[in-house]
Homo-oligomer: A and B are copies of this chain.
Amino acid sequence: MKHIAEIVSVGTEILLGNIVNTDARDISQMLSELGINVYYHTVVGDNPERLSQVVGIAKSRADIIITTGGLGPTCDDLTKQILAESFGKKLVLNEEEAEFIKSYFEKAIRRKTFTQNNMRQAMLPEGCTIFRNHWGTAPGCAFEADGVHVLMLPGPPRECITMFRSCAMPYLRSLSDGEIVSHNVHVFGLGESAMEDKLHEMMENMQNPTVAPYAKEGECFTRVTAKAATAEEAEALMKPIIKDICEILGPVVYGIDTGSLEKTVFDLLKEKGKTLATAESCTGGLVSSRLTSIPGSSEVFLGGVAAYSNESKIALLGVKPETIAANGAVCRDVAIQMATGIREKLNSDISIGITGIAGPSSDGSGKEVGLVYVAMNAEGNVHCRCLHLGSERFRVRTAAANNALDMIRRYLTGLDI
């Protein structure tokens, strides 16, 4: 059976333009992985009559309705009530979920006051499948009625997407005929259209698997998706295609399904038994912050310095005042001295040093915004990239951090740096 899904997002803040509906995009991508067609997205405010009408329309044209938002503890949050009503279900207190929410409050967020309206979150449609929320307090749920599968997810993107992946996908997978499996080939150092150009010929003639390019902040990836009777058969279909893609794209491919450059670097450091230290100026701790977001990073990451001022570069990293006096803080030599300085201080195998002008204005030296030097000292071997990263602060910082991680990756995998 061919399923048709509609995503109904509930939230006045979307209609006011305060937030962009990334939930609908992310859920659509995951539904596409499952081979489920999405025909409609609808956004409606926190208003019972309008939500009820929207659900009535969705019922008439889709057999999978996925709602996001409106599951919280406040009186604005009415998704469960309206959906239950629309499908003739009662809301009943789920004792187990009530206990979990209570203990979540006690353990996870101790200092917040537990109020009675939090208990409303444990009122769920009778007989539903509960999606426990380990990332917030509002549980999600799913039920089938009138031939329609209804899934309700919380609105905050982190909660919504993690719950969708861990709870809703297994639920929906059982509705699908056959298995759809995807792999992402992650790329750094090649734009989306250049990537598409290289893969164009291959993409054009493919039906199953399919090959599709995507762009993300500062990097991009190619998704390969196959459908078959079993996951094993789908994997077998994809294997030669992924191999071809890696060959066509070459060393810009930094991983399959790794999710992020920092995760790739973390895995490589761990595998090779190497340690890392960082010295950052214009990125201000972005590299160390991204690396330490990974559980277990203390095994490979020793520490870092965000050396924002000239004085801190001298005091914490041993950068020579005369180098700064001669060339300014944004130059090749300072980047290298930063990397070498932190490596000596912390006795790491590998270290990086980043200095640049993130903007929006320059540093008074006449150097252009977006000029960044990224140095690496890898077991005594020094490398430095001089980059021109444009004029947008967020992009300059992200791209500088990505370049540092890419240099470490290339060093650890024996590629040219």
Query: A-side interface residues toward B, CB under 8 Å?
Result: 12-22, 24-32, 38-45, 47, 50, 53-54, 57, 61, 72-76, 107-113, 115, 117-118, 134-135, 156, 158, 182, 189-194, 196-197, 212-217, 223, 277-278, 280, 282-289, 291-293, 295, 297-298, 301-309, 311-313, 315-316, 345-347, 358-361, 370, 387-395, 397
Contact between chains at A284 and B295 (CB < 8 Å): no
Contact between chains at B38 and A41 (CB < 8 Å): no
Q: Please pick, from B108, B113, B288, the residue contacting A306 in the complex, using a CB distance under 8 A.
A: B288
Q: Which residues of B sit under 8 angstroms from A42, Cβ to Cβ?
A: 40-43
Could you list 14 A-B pairs, sorted by A, with CB under 8 Å?
A: A14-B41, A16-B182, A18-B214, A21-B21, A41-B41, A74-B193, A74-B196, A74-B213, A75-B196, A108-B392, A135-B392, A302-B308, A311-B346, A315-B345
Judged by DSSP, the binding face of A is mixed
Q: Which residues of B sit under 8 angstroms from A289, Cβ to Cβ?
A: 283-286, 288-289, 306
Contact between chains at B38 and A117 (CB < 8 Å): no
Residue of A16, A25, A39, A392 with most partner-chain B CB within 10 A = A16
The chain B residue with its CB closest to the CB of A189 is: B111
Complex Cα–Cα for A40 and B50 (A):
9
Each complex incorporates copies of this chain amounting to 2
Q: Which residues of B sit under 8 angstroms from A391, Cβ to Cβ?
A: 107-108
Contact between chains at B312 and A285 (CB < 8 Å): no
Contact between chains at B346 and A315 (CB < 8 Å): yes
Q: Which residues of B sit under 8 angstroms from A215, Cβ to Cβ?
A: 72, 156
A219 to chain B, nearest CB (A): 12
Q: A20-B21, A215-B72 are in contact. Are A309 and B316 (CB under 8 A)?
A: no
Complex Cα–Cα for A251 and B77 (A):
27
A296 to chain B, nearest CB (A): 8
Complex Cα–Cα for A38 and B44 (A):
9
Q: Which residues of B sit under 8 angstroms from A134, Cβ to Cβ?
A: 392
Q: Which residues of B sit under 8 angstroms from A302, Cβ to Cβ?
A: 308-309, 311-312
A274 to chain B, nearest CB (A): 14
Q: Which residues of B sit under 8 angstroms from A40, Cβ to Cβ?
A: 15, 42-44, 50, 54
Contact between chains at B26 and A17 (CB < 8 Å): yes
Contact between chains at B21 and A17 (CB < 8 Å): no
Contact between chains at B28 and A108 (CB < 8 Å): no
Contact between chains at B305 and A304 (CB < 8 Å): yes
Contact between chains at A38 and B24 (CB < 8 Å): no
Q: Please pick, from B17, B25, B76, B282, the residue contacting A28 in the complex, using a CB distance under 8 A.
A: B17
Contact between chains at A15 and B44 (CB < 8 Å): no
Q: A109-B191, A302-B309, A394-B158 are in contact. Are A117 and B21 (CB under 8 A)?
A: no
Q: Which residues of B sit under 8 angstroms from A287, Cβ to Cβ?
A: 285
Complex Cα–Cα for A415 and B390 (A):
41
Contact between chains at A278 and B298 (CB < 8 Å): no
Complex Cα–Cα for A277 and B158 (A):
30
Contact between chains at B28 and A16 (CB < 8 Å): yes
Contact between chains at B197 and A115 (CB < 8 Å): yes
Q: Which residues of B sit under 8 angstroms from A26, Cβ to Cβ?
A: 17
The chain B residue with its CB closest to the CB of A204 is: B75
Q: Which residues of B sit under 8 angstroms from A360, Cβ to Cβ?
A: 295
